[in-house]
């Protein structure tokens, strides 16, 4: 899905620096734009803006597929934590996501349970 990015001069309600339509709807935040719009606070640096846009895209993807906001937010954060880019090629998306989940799951498992071995 292609997104239009709109920069705002002030932070969003709740102190958010980025927001997508799907998350706003679930959290009950007024969002006067269409589903293909991502709002980003213009006070962020250029790297932070790119990071925020990528996060909002990832989050919107998971919410559109039935995850609740907090689940989608956690999933987007886990990709960021392990520095795994979200796949942009729609034809390979499901295979790429399965591979990313496998890698992330393995890292989490190793980190959480390695002390027991």
**Which residue has 């909002």 as its token pair?**
56
Note the pLDDT tens digit of each residue in 22-32: 899 988 999 99
Residue 108 has pLDDT above 80, yes or no: no
pTM for the model stands at: 0.70
Cα–Cα distances in angstroms (integers) from residue 63 to residues 5, 8, 21, 34, 98, in the given order:
18, 23, 10, 15, 17
What per-residue confidence (pLDDT) applies to 13? 87
Residue 2 has pLDDT above 80, yes or no: yes
In 3D space, the residue among 37, 29, 34, 36 whose CA is nearest the CA of residue 12 turns out to be: 29
105 falls in which pLDDT band (50, 70, 90)? low
In the chain, how many domains are there? Answer: 1
Note the pLDDT tens digit of each residue in 51-79: 899 889 988 888 888 888 888 888 888 77
Mean pLDDT of 39-59: 90
What per-residue confidence (pLDDT) applies to 78? 77
User: Which domain covers residue 79, as residue numbers?
Assistant: 4-116
| Rounded percentage of the chain residues whose pLDDT exceeds 90 | 30
Mean pLDDT of 5-13: 92
What per-residue confidence (pLDDT) applies to 54? 87
């Amino acid at each position: 899905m292609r997104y239009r990015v709109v920069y705002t001069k002030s932070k969003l309600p709740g102190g958010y620096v980025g927001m997508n339509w799907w998350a706003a709807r679930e959290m009950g935040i007024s969002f006067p734009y269409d589903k293909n719009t991502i709002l980003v606070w213009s006070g962020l640096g250029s790297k932070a803006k790119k990071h925020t846009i990528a996060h909002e895209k990832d989050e919107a993807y998971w919410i559109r597929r039935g995850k609740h906001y907090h689940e989608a937010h956690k999933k987007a954060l886990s990709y960021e934590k392990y520095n795994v880019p979200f796949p942009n090629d729609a034809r390979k998306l499901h295979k790429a996501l399965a591979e990313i989940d496998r890698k992330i799951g393995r890292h989490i498992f190793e980190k959480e349970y390695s002390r027991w071995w």
